Structure 1
Amino acid sequence: MTTEAFGTRLRRAMDERGPLCVGIDPHASLLADWGLTDDIAGLERFTHTVVEALADRVAVLKPQSAFFERFGSRGIAVLERAVADAREAGALVLMDAKRGDIGSTMAAYAATYLDPASPLFSDAVTVSPYLGYESLRPALDLARESGTGVFVLALTSNPEGAEVQHAARVDGRSVAATVLDHLRAENSDAAPMGSYGAVVGATLGRSIDATGANLAINGPLLAPGIGAQGATAADLPKVFGANVRNVVPNVSRGVLRHGPDVAALRESADRFASEIRDAVAS
């Protein structure tokens, strides 16, 4: 078992290494850009290179499970190795799986990523609350027990998300605001930062205001959209305001496009981390 809460470990990693999460997204076009084949050999080379380049310097690495699952059991084996190697090198691993279900199925998803006995044991996992927030209870409870974390989809950067996340409940509150309220309650007794985070797009600007969402959840805010999606480090204080210190900006293509050169990957990640640190401190 991990004896220290994920939120505590994440706060320390962000303070020491800079507040940056880099995705590991081996989609076919990126493999081709690296001069790799779209097969297990290419997947393994890509993943190993990213972990070798970044796991000893970034706070968080975020493998996207789907890009490994598409290769079947051999792809999952590559993912298992990447998770273990990244954690051994000091990076926290956030598994981007976006799981969401009910009952025993949700419990099985939770065990896959948050049980220390699992070969895919990660420091945290992304989950979807749109079968009802309490459907996530198996993952929330196991995270508390095992010292891991969850990041719940709240205000995502894709435009289609608004039709659900901005929708008003019968009490007039938006769905996204309700999800954030639940997370605030989960983190109420945590210090220095809770282990229950939200996914909030860095590209959303002040459109967040229209949802009535309060981002002060005493937990981490995973912010996709920096780099290729158009957001910059300078946008973070504008979007997140007083909560910016708890933001974990995610950059994927903005860093990965510099591979397969290890030095170039490191230089790009270091540059993003420096820009983000300066923006947060300003």
Structure 2
Amino acid sequence: MTFGERLTKAVEAHGPLCVGIDPHPSLLDAWGLSRTAEGLERFALTAVEAFGGRVSMVKPQAAFFEACGSRGVAVLERVISELRDSGTLVLVDAKRGDIGSTMAAYAEAYLGDSPLAGDAVTLSPFLGFGSLQPALDTARANGRGVFVLALTSNPEGAEVQRSVAPDGRTVAQTIIDFATARNSGISPCGDVGLVVGATIGETDVDLSGFNGPILAPGFGAQGGSVADLKRLFGPDMRNVFPTSSRDVLRHGPDVSSLVSAVRRVQESL
């Protein structure tokens, strides 16, 4: 099955919510865990127990695992493995982007046969969309997907993403158009997704022809609401995946409380 087919089935079973696993130091503190690899492991595996098999997609944030060195990366590998064993799609939030053989190595790490490979990975296209070609090819060959940063909600992002290219399009629109072309003709949706922040405010980009999934971080604790999602993406949001991390994770470490928090967010969507 293609990534788009698997994602469509996951949404039919569980709805569009994507839940993040972000072992932020402040959350470790709130859960009464140490800021160590052991605390990280307990946090992450508790989240796996709560989310696995209950949501369409889970997004572990790689940076917080990498911060603990090799032991943290080993925990990330276990998180990916256990989530996939539960039948849950895993989006590794690593935001990789480079050129040539280095991009090819990142592609193998996150989209190939590596233990770090989930079902999809986030990518940064700001060395040029064409620089992502090794990852795009590896993803398609292995039935996996990518989510490419297009229009993010951090204030600094506008300096680049809303800049106007020589042809009159914004940089964000050129990324959207490249992704749209890559997904052309694929059913039920393409394997190249976009990241568009739920709290970007007004947007002047055209997503009407885009045939792929859209990850919308910033939903929940960062202020994004269902109303924001409808305003940004219109009433038909079948391929929009709101992401909630802290708004759900703050209910830990009790697994049943985490499960209840997930259900409340799912119902709100």
- Give, in whole Å, the separation in 2 of the partners of 1:181 and 1:129: 13
Q: Which residue of 2 aligns with 1:253?
A: 246
Residue deviations 1:150-185 (CA, integer Å, cap 9, x gap): 000000111110010000001110000000000101
- Give, in whole Å, the separation in 1 of the partners of 2:74 and 2:193: 28
The amino acid across from 1:213 in the alignment is: D
SS in 1 for 2:203: helix
The alpha carbon displacement at 1:235 in A equals: 2.1
Give unmatched runs, 5+ long, in structure 1.
277-282
- Distance of aligned partners of 1:215 and 1:152 in 2 relative to their CA distance in 1, 3 Å threshold: farther
Q: Residue 208 in 1 paired to residue 203 in 2?
A: yes
Q: CA contact under 8 A between 1:183 and 1:197: conserved in structure 2?
A: yes
Q: TM-score, normalised by structure 1?
A: 0.93
Q: Which residue of 1 aligns with 2:51?
A: 54
- Give, in whole Å, the separation in 1 of the partners of 2:170 and 2:101: 28
Q: Which residue of 2 aligns with 1:219?
A: 212
How many residue pairs get matched? 269
- Give, in whole Å, the separation in 2 of the partners of 1:243 and 1:168: 29
Worse-superposed segment, 151-160 or 212-221: 212-221
The amino acid across from 1:131 in the alignment is: L
- Give, in whole Å, the separation in 2 of the partners of 1:9 and 1:16: 11
Q: Which residue of 1 aligns with 2:130?
A: 134
- Give, in whole Å, the separation in 2 of the partners of 1:201 and 1:86: 25
Q: TM-score, normalised by structure 2?
A: 0.98
| Residues 67-82 of structure 1: pairs in structure 2 closer than 5 A | 67-82=64-79
Q: Which residue of 1 aligns with 2:188?
A: 192
| Residues 1-282 of structure 1: pairs in structure 2 closer than 5 A | 4-115=1-112, 117-205=113-201, 207-209=202-204, 212-241=205-234, 243-276=236-269
The alpha carbon displacement at 1:242 in A equals: 5.0
Residue deviations 1:182-217 (CA, integer Å, cap 9, x gap): 010111021111111000011123x212xx333531
- Give, in whole Å, the separation in 1 of the partners of 2:190 and 2:236: 13
SS in 2 for 1:245: coil
The alpha carbon displacement at 1:121 in A equals: 1.6
The amino acid across from 2:261 in the alignment is: S
Q: Superposition RMSD on alpha carbons, in Å?
A: 1.0
The share of aligned pairs that are identical, in percent, is: 59
- Give, in whole Å, the separation in 1 of the partners of 2:242 and 2:256: 22
The alpha carbon displacement at 1:9 in A equals: 0.5
Residue deviations 1:23-70 (CA, integer Å, cap 9, x gap): 110011110000000001100100010000111101111000000001
The amino acid across from 1:236 in the alignment is: L
- Give, in whole Å, the separation in 1 of the partners of 2:109 and 2:208: 29
Give unmatched runs, 5+ long, in structure 2.
none
The amino acid across from 1:11 in the alignment is: T
Residue deviations 1:49-92 (CA, integer Å, cap 9, x gap): 00001111011110000000011110010000000000111110
SS in 1 for 2:72: helix
The amino acid across from 2:100 in the alignment is: G
- Give, in whole Å, the separation in 2 of the partners of 1:120 and 1:49: 19
- Give, in whole Å, the separation in 2 of the partners of 1:51 and 1:167: 39
